[in-house]
Amino acid sequence: MKAPAAAAYQQKVDTLCKLIGYSFNDATLLQLALTHRSCGNRNNERLEFLGDSIVNFVIAHALFEKFPKAREGQLSRLRAGLVKGVTLAQVAIEMQVGPCLKLGAGELKSGGQRRESILADATEAIIGAIYQDAGMQVCEERILALFAPRLENLSLTDTQKDPKTRLQEYLQAKKADLPMYDLVDVQGQDHEQVFTIQCHTQLLDKPTQAKASSRRIAEQKSATLALQQLGQEAV
């Protein structure tokens, strides 16, 4: 990397550190956390694995303390909403992670700096890197700071079930057949596939259709569309 480019990149990393609220003692940990597997064998996957476990624990403990009367199922659904890919990607955007990511040429060309899954993985990797650099206390403080607005705005009314479950329960209450999900198309290479799912329900004339980077997410999206058409969810 040439000097001007290196200086510009370092400025972006410095901004990232300010937004995280943490300066690394070992800067190589942060660089590793920002390195996608498309760059080679030395990448952020191990730190992502570590960060995933830590963020789940810290958020679980925060919810346990915040909602002393909540049931296990409610706590689990609240945690799932906070640590899901889309939320982690939003945290990455707030930290301005995208411009700091190190991607292979193919990922860079295809917009990997904006891809939800890559941003979410990077958030977890950064959390893992903070833990490795400073230990659990500092890591927990940073996680709680990054998630503070979301934690503060949570209530037990946010524990509604996922769209597929809600659709199934609604159809059962109407004594209709259970929904069926068909995989109608898969496009792209292994690491960047797009799945197209159709959701068939007895109460709708036509199936709802959705696309996503995983089959599970596409099914949930198609279920949401079905609930909207059935008047059970806001559009």
CB-neighbour burial class of residue 234 (10 A; exposed 0-12, middle 13-18, buried 19+): exposed
The CA distance from 205 to 189, in Å, is 33
Of the candidates 52, 107, 121, 133, the residue annotated as catalytic is 52
> What radius of gyration do the chain's Cα atoms show?
20
Q: Which long-range contacts does 207-210 make (Cβ < 8 Å, 24+ apart)?
A: 207/182, 209/184
CA angle in degrees (0–180, nearest 5) for 26-32-35: 150
Cα angle, residue 16 at apex, residues 12 and 21 outer, rounded to 5°: 145
Active site residue 124: yes
**Catalytic status, residue 133:** no
Pick the catalytic residue from 48, 107, 124, 133. Answer: 124
Burial of residue 46 (number of CB atoms within 10 Å: 0-12, 13-18, 19+):
middle
Provide the CA 52 distance to its chain's centre, in angstroms.
10
Active site residues: 52, 124
